[in-house]
Structure 1
């Protein structure tokens, strides 16, 4: 293998890594359900979207309202909190009410395979919580709150915008970091409290078990003494 061939191979590998660096790519077989899990804090937002690599299949899904990707999201209590038929690159969002492990499952509609006579469909998944927001340039994915819009208007109308804008941005960034730290601390406190409750419950159960065993031993001993006494009385030993 000469130097030119090696260079071409390395270039192809680099291009492949760049293409899929921002997402997990895999194949979904006919009638196969793929599931993924992520740890969420309470009152945090989860985001996910799937990109179909095959442009022909992607166009077919877009032009057919009943075809696409079925999404289901289960909370830590195994309750389905979200079901949706989405298209390729369509963003799926959900705000969690409880902390714990959420499970996202996806299934591609059957007609997609039959129409294109394929056994597998190659897709790219981006799935994350609010601390790792999905990066996308599509304007449909950008959600700006009313509060943020009001801030932007205030900044634009302020006479000292050029002086205070860097400070304001830094303060906002610090506030966001502090909020994230507080959220993580609350989550850890909840887990610690759950652990303490389980430990106390286990200790109580262990104590009850020992108490029952002691009572049984005392009962058996008393029963044995009474029976022996009756036996000796019958034998005129006493």
Structure 2
């Protein structure tokens, strides 16, 4: 577990980098396979004068989709790396949570699960340590995923409540599941990360929920 590492920040970045680069390898494998299919179609069908344009178009669409996916992965990974630039920075919470959801999908898929983003209509600006924010949000996501059975979906929503910006984690299928335990396996890590950011951590009503409340006042 990341909390047991002597260098938790490095362990977190290493885990996220390993996951993202694994995804990029998958992207490249699919592009290679699709390019090989196009090559085969041109060589075999083209030589016979009966090239199927629809098959070529579908293969090229698949390549284009994977190129965009690979670019998104690298963009999000690059942004995560830049969280080290400053100890305190101004971030927009919807954007950070969207990045979190994107980078954590592989961890969810390994258990047949899915993470969904539900954004706020209004921007939610915070002044925080951006790396510790991502560590906290990822730990909360993992807390929910670890408790849930295979095939479940976790929603991560951003909202404003009484002058605080709130990130709310919950199971989409919560009503159909038994009541969650009071604390998840990584609860102590969540509490420590919340304290370091001056955030308030609580269990949300209903099953399998976590709420994190951030003050929108500038930190000194």
TM-score by length of 1: 0.19
Q: 1 or 2 for the larger relative contact order (CA 8 Å, sep ≥6)?
A: 1
TM-score by length of 2: 0.20
